[in-house]
């Protein structure tokens, strides 16, 4: 039980650790010599980001931000602000680290904000992706697991604030 709902194990911690290590090795190969800047999106990515970062065999930096959206004018639609983006991203190879890409709305709004800072490149590493839930044209460059359009908790992801510390990924029964 998490909060008031029943969940069952969907991806074991062993499978997760193996896949995260593979991703870390791949990223280390692709970013060798580039000193990439990992940009973790809080709160959900904190566990994935720390495991992925420790799976690297190259020099890299990491920083975390929180995204907050608010209603802009009717012409701008929803506006997103990045809280805590103090790093100078100009000329940097930025790798966004996200827990899950669901509809794709969050990152679709954030990309233009990030591009304004003049990075050399921007790619996305997500722990999970729900391809069937996608409503915006955004895909992760690196992804651990594709999952069905169902609610999951654990490994950093929460249900009403709870369940983030579960080492295995759980799915709603």
Binding residues vs ligand 5GP (CB under 6 A) = 44, 98-106, 151-153, 157-159
Neighbouring residues of 52: CB distance < 8 A, sequence distance ≥ 6: 20, 23, 24, 27, 38, 97, 125
Rule CB under 5 A: choose which of 24, 36, 44, 163 binds Mg ion: 44
Name which of ligand 5GP, Mg ion, none residue 140 binds, using a CB cut-off of 5 to 8 Å depending on partner kind.
Answer: none
Residue 104 found at the interface with Mg ion (CB under 5 A): no
What's the rounded Cα separation, in Å, for the pair 24 and 144?
Answer: 10
| Cβ atoms of residues 125 and 141 within 8 Å | yes
Q: How far is the CB of 114 from ligand 5GP (least distance, A)?
A: 15
Residue 123: which residues within 8 A CB-CB, separation 6 or more?
94, 95, 96, 141, 142
Which of 16, 97 has the CB closer to Mg ion?
A: 97
User: Using the rule CB under 5 A, is 154 a contact of Mg ion?
Assistant: no
Q: Which residues make up the interface to Mg ion (CB under 5 A)? A: 44
């Amino acid at each position: 039980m998490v909060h008031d709902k029943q969940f069952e194990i969907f991806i074991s911690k062993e499978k997760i650790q193996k896949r995260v290590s593979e991703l870390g090795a791949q990223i280390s190969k692709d970013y060798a010599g580039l000193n990439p800047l990992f940009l973790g999106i809080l709160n959900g990515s904190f566990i994935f980001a720390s495991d992925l970062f420790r799976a690297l065999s190259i020099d890299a930096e990491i920083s975390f931000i929180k995204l907050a959206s608010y209603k802009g004018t009717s012409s701008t639609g929803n506006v997103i602000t990045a809280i805590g983006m103090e790093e100078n991203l100009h000329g940097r190879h930025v790798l966004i680290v996200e827990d899950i890409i669901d509809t794709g709305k969050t990152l679709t709004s954030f990309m233009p904000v990030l591009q304004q800072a003049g990075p050399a490149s921007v790619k996305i590493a997500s722990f999970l992706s729900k391809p069937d839930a996608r409503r915006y044209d955004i895909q992760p460059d690196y992804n651990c697991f594709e999952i069905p359009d169902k609610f999951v908790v654990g490994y950093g992801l929460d249900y009403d604030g709870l369940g983030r510390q579960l080492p295995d990924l759980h799915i709603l029964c």
